[in-house]
Chains A and B, each alone.
Chain A
Amino acid sequence: MDKNGSLKWRFDVSTFRLIGRDLITDRVTALFELVKNCYDANADEVTVLFENVGLGKTNSSIYIKDDGIGMSFADIRDKWMVIGTSNKRSNPLTPEPYKRKCVGEKGIGRFAVDKLGDKVNIITKQEKAEQWLSVEIDWEAYYNQSTINEEIKLFTDIENHYEFYDADELNAHGTTLKITNVREIWLEEDINRFVSEASKLVSPLANMSYPMTIKVVAPEYNIEKLATKSLDDVNIATIYFSLGFDAQGKTQDAAYFNEDTGKIDVRSIPMKSFGGIKMKVYFFDEAARRRYRKDFPNNQIDGIKIYRDNIITTPFAENESEDDKKRDVLGIDKRLWMNIFDRVSTREIIGVVEITKEGNPMIIDATNRQDFVDNEQYRELKEFIITQLDSIENFKKYIRKEKRKKSNNTLESAGDEIQNFISSVESIAQKNPNLKDSLAPVVEQAKKTGNVVKTAIKEKKEAEEEFARKENIYMSIMSLQEYAIHITHAIRTTLNKIRDRIEYFNMFFPDPSEEEIFKRYAKEMYFEFLNANKVIDYMLSYSQSNLKPEDIALDETIREIFLEYKPLFISNGIIPDVVIPEKIMLRNTRRQFFRDILQNLLDNSIKAVKDAEKKIIRCSVVVGRDQLEILLSDTGNGIPADKREWVFGIYNTTTQEQGGAGIGLYIVKTRVDSLKGKVSVVDSEFGTIGTTIKIELPFKK
């Protein structure tokens, strides 16, 4: 290869004009295209320097300097100088380890240079290359050729000078475009417009491991600023949480929604089987989503990505450029069990989970690169990630409630203010009788407005009730569908068990050698019938007359139930303990709900203390001024801290081994909800062992 020589363009005039001049009409867009190329070249930092670009200046130039991967001689010859070769379309991601989603379009960025100035000098070097390559292109020459001399149709005759010079540093890399004879004037406002455009290039959330900063410098206007937004600037997310872990203490942060503060808080839980992870999740409500789209048109809100040692992992089909084809391997959008109003979808969150080879060795890439190897640790990781989203789901629920409350308050305070207005006007009229006549129409009007507001409040209340009623119907249809699936599954399983046994009788009875088996099957069928009855009873409880409101003595009801459980307590060696200091009368409530709550909690506790050394089940009631607190505690195996919310979901159970089906706490939660109360798992009253469930109910002494 010649050390110094010339290069020729390999396309014809018409193509050049079509793509170069006619496509990019705006200089800000042109410059923006060039910066996009820097991003696609894995640059960490880009500097755009304007010199003497203002009115009446000479020696104007624009520098675009990046520290990206740089170009080889072959790259310039075969790619940069040939139209229509864009390797971006076949490979939507930039080289390892950055794997950024390419933002440059159809390789037209290089023609943007033409839009900006007459001459360009490209200085470029790849890492480990011993020399820098410098190519000079004079666009003016082409332009003259193509307009003045019509016979010359190709640029191939025009030579571009290039040369190599030795590099001081072998590891240096990057590309600088030095555009001189800048074609148009750049005013301060133009440069600021460029800064604003450039800041939209890429969201700091898009690829958090490899951000790119754009520095814009224009000494003649005293401009020196960053055109990229940092994570701190992205306060457009509605809410976010950040989790870490403590490798030495072997604890992992987990997120939960704190209803008292309206914020997502973090608590420590024992480290999981998959090892410690860092996780950040940003949630965007509708307004925030709109803003994000406006601020970062090149990026999408696209769910949670997993980075291993700062490198985005392929399992999430990042190679798929069409967003709709990406696989939701974490199953965020597949979840059935949350209601549709509050469920968080991948289009509402941006999240990053950071894992490391060393700290999470059991999270292994699958050979097809489409997912991780399906093992216990990966399943637990998926479950952990999804459980964290509960906090956002609870936040959404909370916001909906607050919004409603707030709009009610505004309307009501408007009503009050009108009343205040009327009384102050009336008192003015009283003090100044001469004003009375002129103020009368004002009072009249204010009264009318006051009435209108009152009507509005009433109508809004009615509309809200109507909405709540419809929402309830909708929710009950939704939950009915789930419920029907679960109940039919339960009944079917029972029926199948009975059917198998009957079939056995039918085929092999009588057979004296099988006597014991026949007896056993008969007994089992009997118990299966009892089971089926239990499920049916629960279904029927919805239609029972004892759901009617009545006054009940809660202390008596609790003692009654504990008495009914006495034989079970005795046979299981459990010590019951009921602490209720006074008589508690509840007006207009539903006895059956309290029975359902307590019975299910007791059933759970009995299962939980099965293997405990000391078996105690304790129920205490604390009466507050406007709240009633029921605590049910046991000395059993406890509920892991990160499952404190999860256990209330249907079919979620921590006592699978003891035959827990995960329906008990679901019933408790739905019943407590209907009583307008709150149920939660709190720190155990027994200290390091056991579980305490706290139920808070509204109460007027």
Chain B
Amino acid sequence: MAYKLVFIDDNMREGNDNPFVRSIGKLKKEAEISVFTDPEIGLKFVLDNLNSKMIVFVDCKFDGYGLQGINILKQIREQTSLLYIVMMSANAISQIAGLDIIEMINEDYIWFFDRNNGTVMDACNLIEKIRKLWTTRFDCVLEEWIIRHPEDADKYAYREVGGKSYKWSEMLVELRHQTAIGKIFEGMVNDYYIYQLIKSEENNG
């Protein structure tokens, strides 16, 4: 299952040749890796690719840039709450401003990676942990389905009364962006299956 690994860190000037990134790339061959040293450009890339499956590693501190790790987190969260974000820091966590820590804790799907003590293997384990979560998440299950049944991608999933119609592939985008329609649809599908399971159990019984 292909996915994107994005690193935004002003110290990774070597790009994909950065040893940390390169090591991960060799161990996670299925991942498509991008490295950004300029936080603005990195953020733009992430926001332009929200409909891909993606894990973003973000450095907390960017020397000399206005945009800091916490700002990137906030700006991504303004667009979607689904994306997995790994905040990285070479500073002790106690040196991070209290308010920033609170902002991080209060977000879903966020991890912290200690660049001083964490090894490449630790980073890979974290990636695996996140990927396991993908197997149960609705948007990921749908993506898997479309990959296995490409003929279903253009079938209609949902029609608004007197409004727009959505194909399954389009609905996937709505889900990834956490739009109102994406959220409503996910809730409805879940309700529907619970109802169906109960019904079928009653019929069987």
Contact = CB atoms under 8 A, between A and B. Distances in A.
Interface string B54-74: 000000000110110001001
Contacts of B66: 376, 379-380, 383
Contacts of A503: 19-20, 23, 119-120
26 contacts: A334-B97, A374-B74, A379-B66, A379-B67, A380-B66, A492-B90, A493-B11, A496-B90, A497-B11, A500-B19, A500-B20, A500-B120, A501-B19, A503-B19, A503-B23, A503-B119, A504-B19, A504-B22, A508-B23, A508-B26, A517-B17, A517-B22, A653-B64, A656-B63, A661-B63, A662-B64
Which of A485, A493, A500 has most B Cβ within 10 Å? A500
Nearest to B20: A500
A521 B19 contact: yes
A380 B115 CA distance: 30
Nearest to A657: B64
A656 B38 CA distance: 12
Interface of A: 334, 374, 376, 379-380, 383, 485, 489, 492-493, 496-497, 500-501, 503-504, 507-508, 517, 520-521, 651, 653, 656, 661-662
Contacts of A507: 23, 26, 120
Contacts of A489: 90-91
Interface residues of B, number: 24
A653 B97 CA distance: 22
Interface string B14-27: 00011110110010
A509 to B, nearest CB: 12
Interface of B: 11, 17-20, 22-23, 26, 40, 63-64, 66-67, 71, 74-75, 90-91, 95, 97, 115-116, 119-120
Contacts of B75: 374
Given A374-B74, A496-B115, A507-B120, A520 B22 contact: no
B36 to A, nearest CB: 16
B90 A493 contact: yes
Contacts of B90: 489, 492-493, 496
Contacts of A374: 71, 74-75
Given A489-B90, A492-B116, A520-B17, A500 B64 contact: no
List 10 tightest A-B contacts by C-beta distance, closest first.
A379-B66, A656-B64, A500-B19, A504-B19, A500-B20, A501-B19, A492-B90, A504-B23, A374-B71, A503-B120
Contacts of A334: 97
Contacts of B97: 334
A492 B71 CA distance: 24
A64 B74 CA distance: 52
B137 to A, nearest CB: 27
A501 B19 CA distance: 6
Contacts of A656: 63-64
Contacts of B63: 651, 656, 661
Contacts of B91: 489, 492
Contacts of B67: 376, 379
Contacts of B40: 376
Contacts of A521: 19
A662 B63 CA distance: 10
A485 B95 contact: yes
Given A374-B71, A489-B90, A651-B63, A500 B18 contact: yes
